[in-house]
Structure 1
Amino acid sequence: MMTELQTSGNGPRWRPYPAYKDSGVDWLGKIPVHWKIIRLKYIAEVPKIKLMEKPDDLTYLGLEHVESKTGRLTLETPVDEIDSIVAVFERGDILFGKLRPYLAKVYLANFEGTCTTEFLILRANNRVVQKYLFYQIVSEGFINLVNSMTYGAKMPRANYQQIINIYILIPPEEEQSLIISFIDLELKKIDDLVAKKERQIELLQEKRTALISRAVTRGLDPNVPLKDSGIDWLGHIPAHWEVLRLKFLISFVTSGSRGWAQYYSDEGALFLRIGNLSRISLDLNLDEVQFVEPPAGAEVDRTRVGKDDVLISITAYIGSIAVIEKDIGEAYVNQHIALTRPLSLKVKPKWLGYALLSEIGQHQFRILLYGGTKDGLGLDDVKDLFIFLPPPKEQETIVSFLDQETAKIDALITKIRESIERLKEYRTALISAAVTGKIDVRGADIYPKDTENAKE
């Protein structure tokens, strides 16, 4: 990481400390001569408070609420199931995700709340500044070391006793504060750049939605004759199209069973949750998956996902959609997802997916939830959704057009995301270099002037 940060030309050139010593710890290597090393358990305690259920007045955090590597909260992410036993954390505590630690889900709490027991809660004592310890724990070296200690193939998990015995680098307290200020300043520059690029992605996604909405409400012929749909808020549609409720276009609709948390496992069948669906794309997002060893019986057969099924989120982040275009092996849905099975002679699965993803489709979900009197949809609500329906061959033509055009937009989005990923890698390298003493942050002259040119 040191060579990546000490670039030539117009980029930032970082100054090392004047003298180093061998830390005696393999993964730390050489450290500044005046720094100390100490096991984590001597500078932070592990609170053991657990509750049998979440209090209504305390926010709950699952692993899905913490963004990888940045420590930012994403509270809008839906919770599929709150653990039956929750841990309690205080303001200033550090939450470290023990499950799949390579994801680096670490959060410095700025409020009191409850969380899944998949977080290890660390409470810093007066020997270390809280935020400095947070940066130490989210650093690449620490994460890699913890990841090397995991057990379980598909759901790797770290043992907290091993984590708290890891050595932590401790500079003098004043220097800890300087390191915090340095990292905060540099990360703001990087995060501002990331925010600009994320806005570019939002604009492209809006363009994508507009493209889909136009195609599934007007078709591809700009001169096609129109007729009144017969439904005020739906407006006009091509004269040869129909408007049918979803229940006439599917052979089957169901949702998953409750209480499957007891069947969670490190391997087995896929258990699809709301986070695996999207309002942007029809593809499943399998970046983070849960596995189950399902029980035998009719409930299992009923909730099993098949090729060409269309999935719809019906609680929390309502209106997320996925189309199962290929065989994904044994997979099931949880109780927050409606599984629909289209009648292929009437409606093509991807047409149905695009129709639900369009502005008209999403508008219907908003109408059903208008006023906040409902926290989810029932299966009857799903069956009563209106779908615009051209003839099957025209559905195929429009789907093919949308696949091609959205792929072009997705390619642009992918390039921007790759740029964001490079900035995040630089972000990670910067934190690691600062908290391991590879760069000396003492003195204002070490601050680079042009982070953007350095990594763009």
Structure 2
Amino acid sequence: MERMKLYPSYKASYLPDMGSIPAHWGEQRMKHSFVEVDERSITGDEEMLSVSHITGVTPRSQKNVNMFVAETNIGQKLCRPGYIAINTMWAWMAAMGVSEYEGIVSPSYGVYKPINETYNPNYLDYLLRTEVYQAEYNRRSTGVNSSRLRLYPDRFLDMRFVCPLRNEQDQIVRFLDWKVSQINRIINAKKKQIALLQEHKRAVVNEAVMRDAWSTRRLKTFLTESKDTVGDKSAEFDLLSLTKGGVIIRDVSTGKGKFPSDFGTYKVVRAGQIIFCLFDVDETPRTVGLSKNDGMITGAYDVFSISDIEPKFLEYYFIAIDDVKGLKPLYSGLRKVVNIDKFLQIQVPIPPITEQQSIVVQLDSQCVGVNKLIEKINTQIALLHEYRTRLISDVVTGKMDVRGVEVPQYEEMTEFTEDIEESDEDVEKTEEDSC
């Protein structure tokens, strides 16, 4: 942790969550530095940009995008270097940033053009996604619940933002770029460790469940679709989510994530049933999971009861298929949907039940150690993320004085990310998503 050096004197901030700011810093409304613009693409040939609370504004080509892709980009909003872009639906989570790129964003996004050079664009980019301003976006957004919250231009432009002198902003950016690069280097090394462990696990699973010598059976002979919905009893069910870590229970009490206003169409899930996501199959991080719990899950997914086969063997088999996105040849349409009748015709290699059970025991034993190690490294990464976030916040809001810090030469490093617009952990898919 950096040794905290304070400014000589402080004063109260206009923002209740900010506390104190350096006495010589100003606070000004955003409307004095930016104005909303609405320029549209004529050709649709510009780079499509993604706007995330994790990485700000970046080219969508660098992302694992798990969302609808329009047939044409004509009419999308233009966004230029130095402009602020705000993902309107996710502004309450600070899904915004200052663009370094020439490109286009969704017509529903807010785009704001600088009218002076008050702010260093990189300083402002750091500042916009700090927790103190995220809380203020949330307060200023309007809507019946989190999934309907919108931060409208007048409410954003009326916000006060801290404003150090420009040369001080420049030094803050130099310092943070250096320290963030150091942290990112450590994070990337740990992510490489995880990638190697996951590759090893994939090889072990694939070798165990893919055998040419076994006879095959169609999926429809041991899967029965379950279409029961929760209706008006959603309060009696835990909310489940399909993730790379399996089928998990979502904690809705935190308010994190985007949920529908009505869960009535969500499907009932019983422990031991298997869940498939049969659309966007090549972008969805994980398309299969065996549930250990009763609960409910979005109606966009397909839920099946299993008979006459070891359920965990079937899950391991489809995880191996999913790791290479083996269902891609079966999908069709813009949303890359796998027709359920076609899906149930898939031939699956099946060993005798005793061998299935033996394989499951073997894989559970081999994977448990790898999973624990991956979990440990992910915990370390989470702590590094927390430290990086706190460091950025402390420096850009004046809790830490870096004016006298000499920044050495260093190699700039960004974090390897797989975030989507927004992340799969934050978005609940709906029936409309699969259309």
TM-score for both structures, normalised by structure 2: 0.72
Matched, 1:327 2:315: no
Q: What is the CA-CA distance between 1:99 and the residue it aligns to?
A: 4.3
- Which residue is equivalent to 1:365? 327
- Give secondary structure in 2 for the equivalent of 1:329: strand
Distance (Å, rounded) in 2 between the aligned partners of 1:268 and 1:149: 33
Please point out which of 55, 59, 65 is paired with 1:77.
Answer: 65
Q: What is the CA-CA distance between 1:206 and the residue it aligns to?
A: 1.1
Distance (Å, rounded) in 1 between the aligned partners of 2:43 and 2:290: 38
Please point out which of 201, 206, 231 is paired with 2:199.
Answer: 206
Q: What is the CA-CA distance between 1:409 and the residue it aligns to?
A: 2.1
Q: Answer whether contact 2:174 2:407 (CA < 8 A) is retained.
A: no
Please point out which of 128, 139, 143 is paired with 2:130.
Answer: 139
Q: Answer whether contact 1:95 1:106 (CA < 8 A) is retained.
A: yes
Distance (Å, rounded) in 2 between the aligned partners of 1:171 and 1:76: 36
Q: What is the CA-CA distance between 1:420 and the residue it aligns to?
A: 1.0
Which entry has the higher C-alpha Rg, 1 or 2? 1
Please point out which of 218, 230, 244 is paired with 2:217.
Answer: 244
Distance (Å, rounded) in 1 between the aligned partners of 2:336 and 2:13: 55
Distance (Å, rounded) in 2 between the aligned partners of 1:27 and 1:373: 47
Aligned length: 385
Q: Answer whether contact 2:93 2:138 (CA < 8 A) is retained.
A: no
Matched, 1:155 2:117: no
Amino acid across the alignment from 1:321: T
Distance (Å, rounded) in 2 between the aligned partners of 1:355 and 1:293: 34
Please point out which of 283, 286, 296 is paired with 2:247.
Answer: 283
Q: Answer whether contact 1:39 1:167 (CA < 8 A) is retained.
A: yes
Q: Answer whether contact 1:69 1:428 (CA < 8 A) is retained.
A: no
The sequence identity of aligned pairs, in percent, is 22
Matched, 1:68 2:68: no
Q: Answer whether contact 1:88 1:113 (CA < 8 A) is retained.
A: yes
Q: Answer whether contact 1:284 1:324 (CA < 8 A) is retained.
A: no
- Which residue is equivalent to 1:261? none
Distance (Å, rounded) in 2 between the aligned partners of 1:135 and 1:25: 18
Q: Answer whether contact 1:306 1:324 (CA < 8 A) is retained.
A: no
- Give secondary structure in 2 for the equivalent of 1:438: coil
- Which residue is equivalent to 1:19? 9
Distance (Å, rounded) in 1 between the aligned partners of 2:9 and 2:65: 46
Please point out which of 353, 356, 366 is paired with 2:318.
Answer: 356
- Decide whether aligned partners of structure 1 residues 414 and 318 sit closer, same or farther in structure 2, where only a CA change above 3 A counts: closer
- Decide whether aligned partners of structure 1 residues 154 and 26 sit closer, same or farther in structure 2, where only a CA change above 3 A counts: closer
- Which residue is equivalent to 1:108? 98
Q: What is the CA-CA distance between 1:107 and the residue it aligns to?
A: 3.3
Q: What is the CA-CA distance between 1:208 and the residue it aligns to?
A: 1.8
Please point out which of 357, 376, 384 is paired with 1:423.
Answer: 384
- Which residue is equivalent to 2:188? 195
Runs (5+) with no aligned partner, structure 2? 228-234, 251-255, 411-435
- Which residue is equivalent to 1:341? 304
- Decide whether aligned partners of structure 1 residues 99 and 324 sit closer, same or farther in structure 2, where only a CA change above 3 A counts: farther
- Decide whether aligned partners of structure 1 residues 318 and 433 sit closer, same or farther in structure 2, where only a CA change above 3 A counts: closer
Distance (Å, rounded) in 2 between the aligned partners of 1:135 and 1:154: 24
- Decide whether aligned partners of structure 1 residues 284 and 306 sit closer, same or farther in structure 2, where only a CA change above 3 A counts: same
Q: What is the CA-CA distance between 1:320 and the residue it aligns to?
A: 3.4
Q: Answer whether contact 2:91 2:150 (CA < 8 A) is retained.
A: yes
Distance (Å, rounded) in 2 between the aligned partners of 1:433 and 1:23: 14
Q: Answer whether contact 2:123 2:173 (CA < 8 A) is retained.
A: yes
- Give secondary structure in 1 for the equivalent of 2:399: coil
Q: Answer whether contact 1:124 1:133 (CA < 8 A) is retained.
A: no
Q: Answer whether contact 1:250 1:340 (CA < 8 A) is retained.
A: no
For structure 1, which segment, 86-95 or 208-217, has the greater mean C-alpha deviation from structure 2 after superposition?
86-95
Distance (Å, rounded) in 1 between the aligned partners of 2:146 and 2:197: 34
- Give secondary structure in 2 for the equivalent of 1:155: helix
Q: Answer whether contact 1:268 1:293 (CA < 8 A) is retained.
A: no
- Decide whether aligned partners of structure 1 residues 317 and 99 sit closer, same or farther in structure 2, where only a CA change above 3 A counts: same
Amino acid across the alignment from 1:144: A
Amino acid across the alignment from 1:21: K
Matched, 1:169 2:162: yes
Distance (Å, rounded) in 2 between the aligned partners of 1:139 and 1:352: 44
Q: What is the CA-CA distance between 1:190 and the residue it aligns to?
A: 0.8
Amino acid across the alignment from 2:188: A
Distance (Å, rounded) in 2 between the aligned partners of 1:172 and 1:14: 21
Runs (5+) with no aligned partner, structure 1? 6-11, 219-228, 230-236, 255-266, 450-456
Distance (Å, rounded) in 1 between the aligned partners of 2:145 and 2:356: 43
- 1:372-431 alpha-carbon deviations (Å, 9 max, x no partner): 999836426534433221233443443344345434322221211111111111111111
Please point out which of 332, 348, 362 is paired with 1:387.
Answer: 348
TM-score for both structures, normalised by structure 1: 0.70
Q: What is the CA-CA distance between 1:288 and the residue it aligns to?
A: 4.4
Q: What is the CA-CA distance between 1:358 and the residue it aligns to?
A: 1.3
Q: What is the CA-CA distance between 1:185 and the residue it aligns to?
A: 1.2
- Which residue is equivalent to 1:453? none
Amino acid across the alignment from 1:32: P
- Which residue is equivalent to 1:434? 395
Matched, 1:39 2:29: yes
- 1:288-339 alpha-carbon deviations (Å, 9 max, x no partner): 45426489xxxx6xx9464313304443426832225133226301xxx6x3
Q: Answer whether contact 2:10 2:21 (CA < 8 A) is retained.
A: yes
Matched, 1:93 2:45: no
Distance (Å, rounded) in 1 between the aligned partners of 2:236 and 2:26: 45
Amino acid across the alignment from 1:323: G
- Give secondary structure in 1 for the equivalent of 2:105: strand
- Give secondary structure in 2 for the equivalent of 1:283: strand
- 1:104-150 alpha-carbon deviations (Å, 9 max, x no partner): 43333223112373x44333331222222111111222123333455
